[in-house]
Structure formats: structure tokens, C-alpha cells
Structure 1
Amino acid sequence: MRATRPFCYSDRADLSHRGGLLAVQDSVLVLQERLANEQKLVQLIDRIHSAKTLDTIFIEIQGEILAFLAADRLTLYAADMEKKELYSKFLALDTVREIRLPINESSVAGFVATSRQTVNIADAYDTGELTKINAKLRFDSSWDKKTGYRTTQILGMPILHENRVVGVMQLLNKKKGGRFTKDDELNVARIAKTLGVAFHNQQQLGQRRGTKFDYLLAQGLMSQDDINTAIAAARHKNTDVEAVLMDQYKIPKGELGTSLSQFYRVPFIEFSDRVIPSPELLRDLKLEFLKRNVWLPLKREHDGSTVVLIDNPQDIQRVD
């Protein structure tokens, strides 16, 4: 029979030491995880600030936000206060689709926009839980019925700018189950704050600036949905939007040229083999350079300036 020795003070001290080491290791791991989480969040915030359009946030960055958060699905809504609606966009194959819903209590997102308060719901189908939040609050289950998806947890948060609603973030179904936590709310709140600035800036820019295709819209040659879809198709095919408009939507080159001319405030010159660039201007230029930069000096004016053919007259580096 194997002999055993009694448990003594030195054993207790050894276990205590090992337990301390484990506790320190756990603390280090927690700190490393928090640091990595913070770095991801900072990168995400930078991506949101660098977005040039709302569509970029809806279609490209929304997926990156979802990957960061502990949810199964995410919808970002922007507020259209003139129509009293929330809207979002998503890419279905090569088509940009838009969804809209009223700003009222008929949906969770609509209620969040109306009340400007965060809602954290454990079961979307529990009418008692919804009533405790607000007597008029309803969960719109039509999307679940249409897709077969089962919504359970919902975290909805208003996107504000200077206390004005500019959108809503809505997360569905926490990945590990259970209600969304306070840490989840804090992460969403930081992203929502950044989105508030980005949404406001994009809405202000949208009110001030026109687009290359405003003429086509004004003439009824295309709808905004058509243009959005053409932009998505061009991105997918790695080609110019103008090529998609002519090939798929049969927009005449002359109409497209007029639209571009009005936007850039310079004449549109259609290709003609009768137009011959000045040999003097081409003397020291290589053909590959001209092709790569989509740029061609055409003629010298009497005042000494040079007329240049270019695809984007706003590209200062190539124009100058």
C-alpha cells in the first residue's frame, strides 16, 4: 500500500501560489482581449468616418459592424424626416434594394426613432415584455414570416446628432443566446455616436451637391433605384458606371454626355476620327502614359492654355 503524507502548510502555500498565477494569467488574457476589441473598434470608427456616401455605410461597412458585434443580424436605418420614415439599403445579387418603414410604434425600429430611447428585448414575440416598454409598441413579424427567420432578442438604439434622430441601429439575436448585455449596449452606443456624425455629414452633403446623373433623373430617363443598381453592377464588374448605363440601360451617349457636361461644367466631346490632337503637345508623351491616365492634350488656346480631354475634370492632379 502506497504511503501518503498529511497535507501541510507548505502545500497550502504552493496551491495559493499556483492559484495566484492562474488568476494573473486570466487577468492578462482579459486585458489582451479588451485591447484587441478596442483596436477593432477604433479601426471600425475610422472606416465609418472615411465613408464617402451613405450607400458605402449601408452596403459595405454594415457587414463589418455586424462582424464586430455579438449579433446574428444588423440593420442600419437612416431617418427621412420629410417622409417620417426610416430607410435602409442592401445588396441583393447585383441590385441595390431599399426598405422603408414608418417612424411610429408599429415596429421596434420605428419606436426607437420616435422615443429616442434604447430598447433591449429578450423575446420579440412576448407581447407582455413589449407592453412594459410601451403600450403601443409592436413587433412587426412580417419579415420573419416571409423569410422563415425567427427573431428573438432585439437591441435597438437611436443614432443621434446633437439630440436629433438621424437613424437607428437594430441588432437581432445575440449569438450566444440570452439578452444583450450592458457591454453590448456600450459597444453599440460608441458606434452609434460615430454613425450620428457620419449620417449628419452625408445628409448635409447630399443637400448641397448634385450628382453626375441628375440630368438623367430630371429627364425621366432613369430612376434613382436604376442608378443605384447600375453603380452596384459597375462595382461588381469592375467597370465604369457610364458603361453600364449605355450597355444595360441603353442610355444614349449624347444624353449621358449632356449629364456629365452639366455636372462638371465643361463641354462634352464625343469621339471623332476627325479630331486630331496637336502633334506639338504629344511630342514628349508616351502612349502608355496617356492610356493609363485617361488623359489627352487636345489643342493650345490663344491665351496659352491647353484644352485637355479627360474622364474626370475634377481630378486636380491630372488636370494641373
Structure 2
Amino acid sequence: MYEYFNEPFSFKLDLTPEQMLKVIFEYTAKIATEKKLENVLVLMSNMGRDMVVADRCTVWLIDAASNELFTVVAHGIGEIRIPYGSGLVGSAISTGQPIFIDDAYGDPRHNPESDKKTGYRTKSIMTIPFRNNQGEVIGAYQAINKLTQKQSFSTQDMDYLTLAAAYSGKSLESIMLHQEIIETQKEIILAMGNIGEGRSKETGNHVKRVAQYSYILAAGLGMSQVEAEMLRSASPMHDIGKVAIPDAILQKPGKLTAAEFEQMKEHCTIGYQLLRKSKRQLLQAAAIVAWQHHEKWDGTGYPQGLAGENIHIYGRITALADVFDALGSARAYKEAWPLERILQLIKEERGRHFDPQLVDVFFEQLPLILEVREQNEDLFETE
């Protein structure tokens, strides 16, 4: 029986070659189609654990900015951060060499503090660094406690985990690069959204709030997590076309003339034209938002006069989020409306300006929306 379990537990057997192939094919197929970093790390951990018949397997990565090693996924525990170079995993990553030991407590590099906190008893450990396509070490696998009768990892286990590390390191680099591109796109979109919205003394909190409201409404409507995240990232660009509108109109303290309003309305089409040719899904979504966020459910909006479900759901959601926030924000040409007045208008515009179903979701999610509003209040610059 295992000495590191509190309950009796039968030993397992090493995988047969057929079982090993099945595990490899199953996990590599899943990893190849996964785009979310955390999900890839879970799959990597599970693959390593299953391949070498370990109780736990942790995937460690390097955080160069903080000079730390960290894991966002570890079987049985949450995120852990340790100084770069510390512990067994730090030693393996620093030297680029695998380490496997039969008795963790007999090795001075092992830190027993986690065991003390959890009551878990670490015995055998195997740590295998993995590299990117340039051969640079970017992290490590760490398998803990062999579940076979021998209770220690073998050179064959090291070969298997090295194989997993070789595949996973290259896959992980691709995922991390993809995620970096997406995060860069988001930063650019937010920055451009602030430029489009402003040229005033407010901070960019309007676009941040509209992004969060849009996400809440999308999720409340039942859209997938992926699509709700997409809208949250795209919605800050709803007013990007305002970069082409003169300051005299954008910052006019009084009501716009009919001619000025017609010029202001052009920002929707301008924004769409700026973004529509991009092949990036995120920017394509932003193009839709920019073009359609002033359309109205009853067809009286602009620039196309679309009605009902002919308006893309991204446009319908951003329209409600934008109006709610704009009415509650002070601008050079108006005072902020009180919340009660805004909520009354939204009720009145149900089925006219706004998608009726979205209005219902809005009021269902109102406590969360108000929490976002409070946490992201506008700040004003002083002269």
C-alpha cells in the first residue's frame, strides 16, 4: 500500500505499449486543437501523469519578468510561484538536465513546506525540462509519486516523459505565441478605442465599461464563453470612426446642428471601413460593432436602417451597453443622468431602440452591471 496516502490504495501497473500509444494519440490530438493556454496546461499535466503512472504531474513555466517559476495547473493544488532556480524544478530548468529521485526527503533540494500544509507525502519525483523550437528551456514537467509497486520512476519513465516534453514544449510555444498575438490585439483595440472615444479630458473608462457590460449581456444571453470574450475584446472599437470627426463637432458643448449630426453619424461607416479588410476574427468583430452599434431594433437607427435580428447580435448588445454608459457619464455637452432616469428610458425603449430580450437580460444582470460601473468610474484631468 502507498505510504503517502491516508487511505488504502492498490498499486497500478505500467502502461503496455498499446496503452501508451493510445494515451499519446488521445492527448496530442486534443492539444493540437486547443487554443487556450490553461486548457493546454491541463492536458499536458494529464498526459504526463498518465504516461508515467504518477499520482500527480505539474507543468512549470518561466516568468522572466518576475524571475520566477510558476504553475497555473497542479494536480490537487492551485497556482504556485517559486524563485527561479529554487527547488528540484528550478535546478532542472537552470541546468537543462532531467532529475529523478526515489526519496524526496533525502534530497536537500526538495522543499517540504507544501507537504506540511496539505498533509501529502512526496516520495518519488521526476523533473524533465522542455524546450521551444529554438532549443531554449521554457519550462518543465514534474511527476510526483510513482503508483506502481516499485514506487520509483525508471529510466523508461524518463524517456516517456522526455517524449511528452519534446512534443508539449513546441506545442506550448505555439499556443503562447497565439495568446500573445491575441493579447496584443486587445491592447491595440483598447488603445484605439480610447482615442476614438475621447480627445476629451475623460479617462478611457467609458470603453472599459462598455466592454464589461457587453460581456455580461452576452453571457447572460447564453452566448458561449469564447464569443462573449470576443465581444468584450471587440466592443472598445465601437467609436473608432470618431478619429475622422472634427474636434469642433466632437467637443461641441451644445446641441449639434442637423448638418453636424449628419457628419457625426459618419463615424460608424468610417470605423467599419477602417476594420473590415482585416482577416483577424477579433478585428472583424470590431468592424461589425463599429458599423452597427447605432442601429435600432425598430429600424430607425443609422447608418443602414437595419431592424430586428438583421442587426448583428454584437451591434445590438453594444448599442445597449453604450447608451446605458453614455447617459450616465458627464460630457462637455451634457450632465450625467441619474440612474433611475436611465433605467426608465431603457424600459421605454424595449422593442424600439433595443432588442426586447436583451433589455430583459440587462435587468436580470443589473447588480453585476452596477458593480462594474462603480469600480470603473470616470476620472477627470485637471488643467
What TM-score results when the alignment is normalised by the length of structure 1? Answer: 0.57
- Residue from 132, 143, 156 that aligns with 1:171: 143
C-alpha distance in 1 between matches for 2:116 and 2:57: 18
Q: What's the counterpart of residue 197 of structure 1? A: 170
Q: What's the counterpart of residue 47 of structure 1? A: 30
Contact 1:213–1:259 at 8 Å: present in 2 too? no
Query: AA paired with 1:98?
Result: E
Q: What's the counterpart of residue 83 of structure 2? A: 102
C-alpha distance in 2 between matches for 1:277 and 1:196: 51
Contact 1:78–1:199 at 8 Å: present in 2 too? no
C-alpha distance in 2 between matches for 1:240 and 1:209: 16
Q: What's the counterpart of residue 183 of structure 1? A: 156
User: Could you give the per-residue CA deviations for residues 182-236 of structure 1, whole angstroms, max 9, x where no partner exists?
Assistant: 22111101110011111221232233333786439x9689x9xxx9xx99xx7xx
Is 1:87 aligned to 2:70, yes or no? yes
Q: What's the counterpart of residue 126 of structure 1? A: 106
User: Could you give the per-residue CA deviations for residues 3-50 of structure 1, whole angstroms, max 9, x where no partner exists?
Assistant: xxxxxxxxxxxxxxxxxxxxxxxxxxxxx9312322321222222222
Q: CA deviation at 1:166?
A: 1.2
Contact 1:44–1:65 at 8 Å: present in 2 too? no
C-alpha distance in 1 between matches for 2:314 and 2:32: 27
Is 1:139 aligned to 2:110, yes or no? yes
Is 1:150 aligned to 2:126, yes or no? no
Q: What's the counterpart of residue 27 of structure 1? A: none
Count of matched residue pairs: 229
Point out where structure 1 has 5 or more consecutive residues left out of the alignment: 1-31, 131-137, 247-252, 288-295, 299-308, 313-320
- Range 205-214 or range 69-78, more displaced: 205-214
Is 1:258 aligned to 2:236, yes or no? yes
Equivalent residue of 1:57, what SS?
Answer: helix
C-alpha distance in 2 between matches for 1:154 and 1:65: 13
C-alpha distance in 2 between matches for 1:92 and 1:153: 15
Q: CA separation of 1:117/1:55 partners in 2, compared to 1, >3 Å: closer, same or farther?
A: same
Contact 1:49–1:194 at 8 Å: present in 2 too? no
- Residue from 61, 64, 71 that aligns with 1:78: 61
C-alpha distance in 1 between matches for 2:238 and 2:184: 9
Equivalent residue of 1:167, what SS?
Answer: strand
C-alpha distance in 1 between matches for 2:298 and 2:56: 57
Name which one, 1 or 2, has greater alpha-carbon Rg. Answer: 1
Query: AA paired with 1:163?
Result: G
Equivalent residue of 1:74, what SS?
Answer: strand
Identity of aligned residues (%): 22
Q: CA separation of 1:91/1:213 partners in 2, compared to 1, >3 Å: closer, same or farther?
A: farther
Query: AA paired with 2:166?
Result: K
Mapping of 1:1-320 within 5 angstroms? Answer: 33-90=16-73, 98-104=79-85, 106-127=86-107, 130=108, 138-161=109-132, 162-176=134-148, 177-210=150-183, 214=187, 215=190, 239-240=224-225, 257-258=235-236, 263-264=282-283, 265-266=286-287, 267=290, 269=293, 272-275=296-299, 296-298=309-311, 309-311=312-314
Equivalent residue of 2:16, what SS?
Answer: helix
Query: AA paired with 1:167?
Result: G
Contact 1:84–1:103 at 8 Å: present in 2 too? yes
Structure with the larger helix share? 2
C-alpha distance in 2 between matches for 1:65 and 1:51: 17
Q: What's the counterpart of residue 371 of structure 2? A: none
Q: What's the counterpart of residue 320 of structure 2? A: none
Query: AA paired with 1:99?
Result: I
Query: AA paired with 1:148?
Result: G
C-alpha distance in 2 between matches for 1:198 and 1:175: 28
C-alpha distance in 1 between matches for 2:225 and 2:157: 40
User: Could you give the per-residue CA deviations for residues 144-200 of structure 1, whole angstroms, max 9, x where no partner exists?
Assistant: 111111111000000112320111100110012432012211110111001111122
